[in-house]
Homo-oligomer: A and B are copies of this chain.
Amino acid sequence: MFKHIVLPVALLGAFASARADEGQWQPHQLPQLKSELKRIGITIPIDKLTDLSKHPMSAMVSTPGCSASFVSPDGLIVTNHHCGYAAIQRNSTPEHNYIVNGYLAKDRAAELPGGPSMLVYVTEKVEDVTERVLKGLAPTMSGRERYEEVQARVKALIAECETDKAYRCSVPAFHRGLEYYRIRQLMIRDVRLVYAPSDKIGNYGGDVDNYEFPRHTGDFSFLRAYVGKDGRPADASPDNVPYKSKDFLVVSAEGLKAGDPILLAGYPGRTSRYKLPAEIRFARDADFPLRVAGMQADLAVIAAATMGNPAYDVRYASVVKGINNVMKKTQGLLDGFARKDIAAIKDVQDAEFRAWFRQHQGGASKTMLADLDGAIGADMALSEEEYAYSVATHSDLLASARTLYRLALEHQKPDPKRDAGYQERDLSFIKARLTRLEQSLAASVDEARYAAALQRYGKLAARMHPAALDALLPAPHALPALYKASELADTAKRLAWIGKDAEAFRKSDDAFIKLAVKLNDVATGLENRRKEINGNFEKIIPQYMSAVIAWKKSQGKPVYPDANSTLRVTYGTVASYPARDGITKGPFTTVDGVVEKHTGKEPFVAPKELLEAIKEQRFGVFKDPLLGTVPVNFLSSADTTGGNSGSAVMNKRGELVGLNFDSTYESITKDWYFDSAITRAIHVDIRYMLWVMKEVDHADNLLKEMTIKYPRK
């Protein structure tokens, strides 16, 4: 989420680290937090948590966009229902609707293929390669030169690591370039659906309850990693065998209570904790309100264009869901900014830091702070143009044409010189994306959305319009002809462009290909300015962050880097929160709430078997002694964000007690500012999962496969 708005990352000291529970820590940082972890009651030796090859960290995996963990030695993986959704959807037919009915493989032979986009990554190695990335970079380089040199070195480090095709490597920057780590992940490509409850459990509450609490969602599903007979990742095949996971989590049904400590490990995507006050004001006063209005308008257009056509409705359902999700998150940030003047808080922190910095300038450039402010100003201006450009090109067909032409252009260079995302290693992902588009595209809807977007573009402030762009854009009334003159809506014809050379594009009569070619100079111009600005950030921000880290160190406080989709550990306690004056929410919800919410109307339709089990109080060992019934979801103060979906929530001994799946609405601001008083992550209580498996879905085979600690009677 927020792909465009996180590009202009700038940093502001880890002021937040002063507060308990904040922090998405790199595992190797955890020894700095030893006393804090001990204080809240964590008993697992902290040093064990730093070693990715040891329990429990070696049980943590990721899937695209989500986190997960092994729960048996035979590659059994537990994650969220919404993380396994693509695999469930892919195998569903009108006759066998696994979305509505759920699916349980009673034996291994019944486990269903997850499809090409269902991958499992196991992080095996993390190396500090900062020196190899930064050594000898001339300080005289322009931003863009520096950016491109760093990219070249990063690509070389990746290529060196990916000689074995079983692995996928990456070299993400931490603190925007202060440090670089090379991460080597085993990439398992045969992943099967083992078990998912009905979406009446797994997605109970649906979009209505998204980001809300009290929550009553059984957001869990089970996958299994398969490999070739040689034990190495292989393309999907019936001959493959379950992956022998070296490690797995023990599941504890002993439960937690308010105040108990938890650890949470996973792959948080992106945060913006170190934004400067000016950037917060820009987001709050200009950027976000514009985006929310744009998304609202887009949703209205989709609703009108799909009305009365159930097939289109289905095709755009996930698009709408996605836009709604981002819109709710953006609005949540705006609401958070309105509730608390975060810019003013950051003003104070920024002033404190700048005062300290003037006294302890050390090795940093004398002009560092001025350079930073300048870079941020340039970044905000460019961001406005980038946003306007995205509005001016808001068509899936045009986006496909741009990707295809860009691929052809990059293909003219030798592979290591191509821009990241357009190398040989990316080709299968691009192809998958261009294929998948058919599931969510109708040319007439795309045309309506694009026409409306062009209207919106026309109304944007003149300063936002990229130079030379306006003259190249089609007039809204010309769109019907444009769409008639393109074949890109046809999947086979769209895919046929992969591998064609740039000249073929320039000669094409396809209207969208022609438009993409025409827009290329403007797009390249924006990209080059982005490279220049990013290169400058990568020069300035590491200096700035070094100073911030030194400042915090002088106060005895460690600093964690913004999330960047790498493995992190966070911790906290099971805790309620004050949602409004006079209202406390959480920490637990129970099956009583499932009944309370059940209206019989989507998204509040609980399965009959579930309601009966509740009514008959068949709770067994899963009944919480304090609540007197089965808990469903619970809140903790851990620090999470998108990408943490499916993350293992562990008790003080490192046993699995829950799955992270969402945050409360009031917490949305945490991506920019962690307010420990109100920020809460929402987890599935593992007792609910186990109880549903036992009493509703009779998944006895899986309950037997896992190692489960039951409470003493």
* Cβ-closest chain B residue relative to A582: B214
A213 to chain B, nearest CB (A): 6
Q: Is A580 an interface residue when CB atoms closer than 8 A count as contact?
A: yes
For A585, the chain B residues whose CB sits under 8 A away are 582-584
Whether A260 is near chain B, meaning CB under 8 Å from some CB there, is no
Min CB gap A587→B, angstroms? 9
The reply on A185 being an interface residue by CB < 8 A is: no
A214 touches B589 (CB 8 A): no
Report whether B576 and A593 are in contact in the complex, using a CB–CB cutoff of 8 Å.
no
Number of copies of chain A assembled together: 2
Residues from chain B with a CB closer than 8 A to the CB of A596 are: 580-581
- Tell me the smallest distance from the CB of A232 to a CB of chain B, in Å: 46
In chain A, residues 585-615, which have Cβ atoms closer than 8 Å to a Cβ of chain B? 585-586, 588-590, 592-593, 596
In the bound assembly, the distance between CA atoms of A615 and B2 in angstroms comes to 34
A465 is an interface residue with CB less than 8 A from chain B: no
A584 touching B581, Cβ below 8 Å: no
| Range for the number of chain A residues in contact with chain B | 20 to 34
Question: Within 8 Å CB of A576, what residues of B?
Answer: 584
| Whole-angstrom CA separation of A596 from B583 in the bound complex | 12
Question: Min CB distance, A597 to chain B, in Å?
Answer: 8
By a CB distance below 8 angstroms, the chain B residues around A346 are none
- CB closest residue in chain B, given A587: B582
Complexed CA–CA distance, A633 and B581 (Å): 11
Smallest CB separation, A256 vs chain B (Å): 15
Chain B residues with CB under 8 A of A216? 581
Interchain CB contact under 8 A, A214 and B584: no
Q: Would A586 and B593 count as touching, CB distance under 8 A?
A: no
A215 interface contact, C-beta 8 A:
yes
A576 (CB) vs chain B CBs: closest residue: B584
> What separation, in Å, do the CA atoms of A555 and B592 have in the docked complex?
32
- Cα distance, A215 to B588, chains bound together (Å): 24
A489 to chain B, nearest CB (A): 46
The complex places the Cα of A434 from the Cα of B455 at a distance, in Å, of 64
Chain B residues with CB under 8 A of A579:
583
Cβ of A215 and Cβ of B582 under 8 Å apart?
yes
> Could you tell me which residues of chain A, from 203 to 243, have a CB within 8 Å of some CB in chain B?
213-216
Residues of B within 8 A of A581 (CB): 214, 216, 589-590, 592-593, 596
CB distance from A8 to the nearest CB of B (A): 32
Assembled-state Cα–Cα distance A491/B584 (Å): 53
In angstroms, Cα B279 to Cα A177, docked, is: 75
Q: How far is the CA of A427 from the CA of B634 in the complex (A)?
A: 63
Give the most central of A215, A576, A582, A593: most B CB within 10 Å: A582
For A583, what are the chain B residues with a Cβ–Cβ distance below 8 Å? Answer: 214, 579, 583-585
Chain B residues with Cβ below 8 Å from A592 are 581
A588 nearest CB neighbor, chain B only = B582
- A579 CB, min distance to chain B CBs, angstroms: 8
Q: Do A213 and B593 touch (CB < 8 A)?
A: no
Please name all residues of chain B whose beta carbon is closer than 8 Å to the beta carbon of A593 when the two chains form the complex.
580-582
User: How far is A590 from B589 in the complex, measured between Cα atoms in Å?
Assistant: 26
Complex-state Cα separation, A215 to B576, whole angstroms: 21
For A213, give the chain B residue with the smallest CB separation: B582
Residue of B nearest to A635 (CB): B582
| A633 vs B596: C-alpha distance when bound (angstroms) | 28
Complex formed: what's the CA distance from A685 to B167 in Å? 65
A638 CB to nearest chain B CB (Å): 18
In the complex, which residues of chain B have a beta carbon less than 8 angstroms from the beta carbon of A214? Answer: 580-583
**For the complex, what is the distance from the CA of A588 to the CA of B593, rounded to whole Å?**
24
A627 and chain B: residue at smallest CB distance:
B581
Residue among A576, A580, A581, A596 with max Cβ neighbours from chain B (10 Å): A581
Which B residues are CB-close (under 8 A) to A584?
A: 576, 583-585
Q: How far is the CB of A253 from chain B (nearest CB, A)?
A: 21
| A372 CB to nearest chain B CB (Å) | 33
CA A585 to CA B586, docked complex, whole Å: 11
Complex: A489 Cα to B544 Cα, angstroms: 81
Q: Given the complex of chains A and B, what is the CA–CA distance between A175 and B612 in angstroms? A: 42
Q: Which residues does chain B contribute within 8 Å of A589, judged by CB atoms?
A: 581-582
Q: What is the bound-complex CA distance between A131 and B478, given in angstroms?
A: 97
A414-426: CB near B (< 8 Å → 1, else 0) gives 0000000000000
Q: How far is the CA of A588 from the CA of B580 in the complex (A)?
A: 11
A580 to B633, CA, bound (A): 14
B-chain residues with CB within 8 Å of residue A590 when the two chains form the complex: 581-582
Interface string of A536-579 (1 = CB under 8 A from B): 00000000000000000000000000000000000000001001
CB distance from A394 to the nearest CB of B (A): 34
Most buried by B among A215, A576, A580, A589: A580
A584 to B213, CA, bound (A): 12
Residues of chain B within 8 A of A633, CB atoms compared: 582
In this complex, the member of A583, A589, A593 whose beta carbon has the largest number of chain B beta carbons within 10 angstroms is A583
- In the docked arrangement, what's the CA distance between A248 and B346, Å? 53
Cβ of A211 to closest chain B Cβ, rounded Å: 15
CA distance A579 to B582 in the complex (A): 11
A583 to B596 alpha-carbon distance, docked (Å) = 12
Q: Tell me the A171-226 residues at the B interface (CB within 8 Å).
A: 213-216
User: Once the chains are docked, how many angstroms separate the CA of A216 from the CA of B580?
Assistant: 12
List the 8 closest pairs (A to B, CB-CB), nearest first: A581-B593, A214-B582, A582-B589, A584-B584, A581-B592, A581-B589, A581-B596, A581-B590
9 contacts across the A-B interface (CB closer than 8 A): A213-B582, A214-B580, A215-B582, A581-B589, A582-B585, A582-B589, A582-B590, A582-B633, A584-B584
Q: Which residue numbers of A lie inside 8 Å of B, CB to CB? A: 213-216, 576, 579-586, 588-590, 592-593, 596, 633
Q: 11 other contacts beyond A214-B581, A582-B593, with CB at 8 A cut-off?
A: A213-B582, A576-B584, A579-B583, A580-B596, A581-B592, A581-B593, A581-B596, A582-B585, A582-B588, A583-B585, A584-B584
